[in-house]
Amino acid sequence: MLVRGVPPPTPVPASLADAAGQRKVDTPAMPAPTPDDALAADARAAEDALAADARAAEDALAAGARAVVERLRGAGFAALWAGGAVRDQVMGLAPKDYDIATDAEPEQVAALFERSVPVGAQFGILRVIHAGHEYEVARFRAEGPREDALHRDFTLNGLLYDPVADELIDHVGGLADIAARRLRACGGDPEGRFGEDWLRILRGVRFAARFDLAIEPRTWVAMAREAQQVLSASAERRRDELSRILTEGAGGRGFALLAELGLDRALLPEVSDPARARARLERLGAAAEDVGWAVLGYDWGDPAETAAALGRRLKLPTRLARRIGAIVALARALPGYPALTVAQRKRWTRDEASGDALRVAAIAVAANQAPAAGWRAATEDAGRWSPGELRPAALVDGRDLAAAGHAPGPIFKLLLDAIEDAQLEGHVRTRPEALALAERLAGA
């Protein structure tokens, strides 16, 4: 592969194909197989097949990204891969999406593809759907490729790649910074660059955390000096970066950087004890968004209310905010789990958020912030009951109670809940038993 721009430092692979090859792990020498190894071999074969599928999907995504470039070139436009995908490949990671930079206007791009979605026409961005994959095609951020690269946020994100010529184009020293595992703002003036878009400070935290990068001193000084300006970025953009810091697998480091910048409380006033939150996040790997936020919110006194407040402030989708609150509430109930009745345990276990709550609670236990007993008991119960035992079909409903002479009213719900409890406990199994229980309770 050719490298244009700044000369590449040595530790960087000679071509992107080699870089991608780094993902392959050499199989260690194995002892001679015995018959007992047959099952393990089957399991390995299944794993290999899954890995091959994943690899094929990655290759198809990359092939499509190359085809998009070729089509733009065929129409006389400049086109290059840009940003995160190039960075990921140089780092030996599989890009999950490809951004393409071009000198074509969105309308010109749209005319070349069967399907496209305008996502930010005013910024020159169009989402193209090609061969079943989506690609973001964006007009150069400035005059041409060089200026485009210089207008990106950090040098590791400022690399361009020509997939036709297999040429890496580095106008910003991104290769050297990736090799040194260093985060550096593009261009010589970090403060000026952050001033163009304060969110970049938060992006810097995210990339430094995710790739475990040292932050170059001038970049860090500018981040620290201007940190509070991040609060002027829109709630949606802050939300998206924070969500990614919480979910990309380095939440602890991300949160530590936020604390160093004096941003932990400022960005997340709902977190009452940042040191405890950080201790939990350090134990969280890559996670779904709801779990990431729930680990952050494990301390909340009123989970539903606080999750809703967080949701309103950061414009989280209502469903997500509700689910975060539900996970935290369930996880927080676990210290009392050993004292619950069987019916209560079954209700806890059958909650659709219980699996996520167990994961969050495991983290709180590991961080010495919760006793282990409740979490352990609930974990043991997780596989204990069949779906029918967790959700037995109702033996009676409101009409049955009315037919049996009970006066309709709020009491119905109490009676039906009590009957279900008795079912879950195994005390009531038939309709007559259920009606007899209702009779006893109503008469009491």
Positions in the binding site for ligand ATP (CB under 6 A): 83-84, 99, 152-153, 157, 197, 199-200, 203
Question: How far is it, in rounded angstroms, from Cα 444 to Cα 431?
Answer: 20
Helix %, strand %, coil % of the chain (to 5): 60, 10, 30
- Minimum distance from residue 360 beta carbon to Mg ion (Å): 27
Question: How far is it, in rounded angstroms, from Cα 235 to Cα 431?
Answer: 54
H or E stretch covering 402: helix 398-403
Residue 153 interacting partner from Mg ion, ligand ATP, none (CB closer than 5 to 8 Å by kind): ligand ATP
| Residue pair 119/136 in contact by the 8 Å Cβ criterion | yes
Residue 157 interacting partner from ligand ATP, Mg ion, none (CB closer than 5 to 8 Å by kind): ligand ATP
Question: How far is it, in rounded angstroms, from Cα 95 to Cα 262?
Answer: 32
| Residue pair 137/125 in contact by the 8 Å Cβ criterion | yes
| Residue pair 23/94 in contact by the 8 Å Cβ criterion | yes
Sign (positive/negative) of CA torsion 392, 398, 403, 406?
positive
Give the number of other CB atoms < 10 A from CB of residue 409.
Answer: 8
- Minimum distance from residue 64 beta carbon to ligand ATP (Å): 16
**Closer residue to ligand ATP in complex, CB, 152/280:** 152
Residue 148 interacting partner from Mg ion, ligand ATP, none (CB closer than 5 to 8 Å by kind): none
Residue 197 interacting partner from ligand ATP, Mg ion, none (CB closer than 5 to 8 Å by kind): ligand ATP
**Closer residue to Mg ion in complex, CB, 51/286:** 286
**Closer residue to ligand ATP in complex, CB, 83/303:** 83
Residue 200 interacting partner from ligand ATP, Mg ion, none (CB closer than 5 to 8 Å by kind): ligand ATP
Residue 190 interacting partner from Mg ion, ligand ATP, none (CB closer than 5 to 8 Å by kind): none
The residues of the shown chain that bind Mg ion, judged by CB under 5 A, are 84
**Closer residue to ligand ATP in complex, CB, 129/411:** 129
- Minimum distance from residue 94 beta carbon to ligand ATP (Å): 11
**Closer residue to Mg ion in complex, CB, 84/204:** 84
**Closer residue to ligand ATP in complex, CB, 119/377:** 119
Residues whose CB is less than 8 angstroms from the CB of residue 116 and which lie 6 or more positions away in sequence, other chains included: 109, 110, 126, 127, 128, 129
